[in-house]
Copies of this chain bind each other. A is one copy, B any other.
Amino acid sequence: MKVNLIIKNAFVMTMEGTGVGMIEDGAIAVKGNTIAGVGRTDEIVQQFSAEEIIDAQNKLIMPGLIDAHIHTGLGILRGVSQDIGNWMQEGLWPFMKHVTAEDHVNGSMMNIVEGIKAGTTTFCDYDSHMNEIVNNYVKVGARARIAELVNEIPHDIGDIPVGELYPFHANIGERKLQNNIKLLEEWHEKEAGRITCMLGPHGPDMMSVELLKEMKALAEKYDTKLHMHVAQGDREIDQMIKRYGKRSIAFLEEIGYLNGRLLAVHLTEATKVETESVAKSGAAMINCSGSIGIIDGIVPPIQEFIEAGGTAALGSDQAPGNNCNNMFNEMKFVSILNKVKRQDPAVFPAHLALRLATIESAKAIGLDHEVGSLKTGKKADLLLVNLQEPSLSPVITEPIRNIVPNLVYSAKGNEVESVMIDGRFIMKNREITTVDEKEIIKTAQISANEISRKAKEDNHKSKSPLLQRMKNEEL
């Protein structure tokens, strides 16, 4: 069979089966945007002939990574909100209120490039202005599973005193919902299926029951998922108890949200019983170790969720509180933080972290028929990783193989040499091929300068502890 490309003589980590499905001296054949074959090099070169053959000796071919929860627009505010007690109101909002749609789009583009350079091929982007951000994914050529962030809260949420009930404005919710519907109508399964859309309720505390129910019905109508923050902080639980007299999970169960359509993001504050009830409902959990570690000092209950039989995935969340959008970072953190939580180094082995950034994540977000593993018929989303970078050297193959632990515990993302998405090299030898990286950085910087100028006055009025850190020369 004639194909476009064969990559051969590599380690191929398929992520098929229950482990990592490693093939030594493996190869992959790509035709159009699809994997035509995966196997041992001798098998593949016999079975296929190709226009182009890449010899990938000392390299690893693996599935592209899936970032199951990212707010790319917030890339524009990387690093403005850490090391403080109230991340959202004291750190983020004084800047956030001055961010325009254009700033959001510019930050998003930079964030997407950051992700690709660290091997992310599928972005579950969950943000405002998604009808504009989506064009970034078209330009870059990345796979995106996107949702518009819908809530009923006015833009000046940061000015509401901590602990006071958020006001809901039905007209705000309606406007945002219409944006989410527009996204679904115009973009779902477009760009040869590279773009798919979900519903994006912001959280059970951020909108009325009526709007939550309406979005649930829409998810059924469009046969897609609901991407939502759930039990994401004591702030949310406090709002739920004040408003409804019950905690988030019980409330969601009551309104029929706990089922296979739900991507429950964070579960930071979920008890063991609540975690198990979400897992057993068929809803997936998305775990953001880096972000929740930094902004809350908490290890979310992903280990418990998996033990209860749930399907889980990893996400990098937002740049003003992680501060990177790099799935290698997430894999290392989720493993070590759970070892530490249980005081047991055997907990959360490396292959599990890898599965949660590939095949398990694909299952969680409902794209496992297309991506998450290297298998004939799936989309050609794959990484070429240079095993001769010092951080991945030497390669040991017997009596045990060291590639998997080194990928999770040592790699930083820059070992990813080339990135293919939908059969096309989006990065080759560390160069992004579809957009101008330098120009993207410059454009984001111009946006940031303008936000910074506007935030300066507001920030000086605020009592953010970060202003004191600035005076102390700690920043």
Contact = CB atoms under 8 A, between A and B. Distances in A.
Given A345-B87, A460-B399, A294 B409 contact: yes
- In the complex, which range does the number of interface residues on chain A fall in? 35 or more
A467 B393 contact: no
Interface string A332-360: 11011101111111111111000000000
Given A323-B406, A400-B469, A475-B400, A342 B390 contact: no
A336 B333 contact: yes
**Of A341, A345, A437, most B-chain CB atoms within 10 Å:** A345
Contacts of A346: 83-85, 465
A293 interface: yes
A27 to B, nearest CB: 19
A260 to B, nearest CB: 27
A341 B299 CA distance: 10
A210 interface: no
A405 B323 contact: yes
A405 B83 contact: yes
A322 B405 contact: no
A32 interface: no
A18 B244 CA distance: 48
Interface string A199-221: 00000000000000000000000
Contacts of A114: 390-391
Given A350-B82, A467-B400, A297 B340 contact: yes
A474 interface: yes
A414 B391 CA distance: 11
Interface string A39-59: 000000000000000000000
A110 B346 CA distance: 28
A214 B273 CA distance: 58
A232 interface: no
A19 B469 CA distance: 9
Contacts of A361: none
A407 B133 CA distance: 27
Nearest to A113: B390
Nearest to A443: B394
A472 B80 contact: no
A79 B398 contact: no
A181 interface: no
A448 B394 contact: yes
Interface stretch (A183-191, A250-258, A421-429, A451-459): A451-459
7 contacts: A78-B402, A82-B350, A85-B344, A319-B410, A393-B444, A393-B445, A400-B469
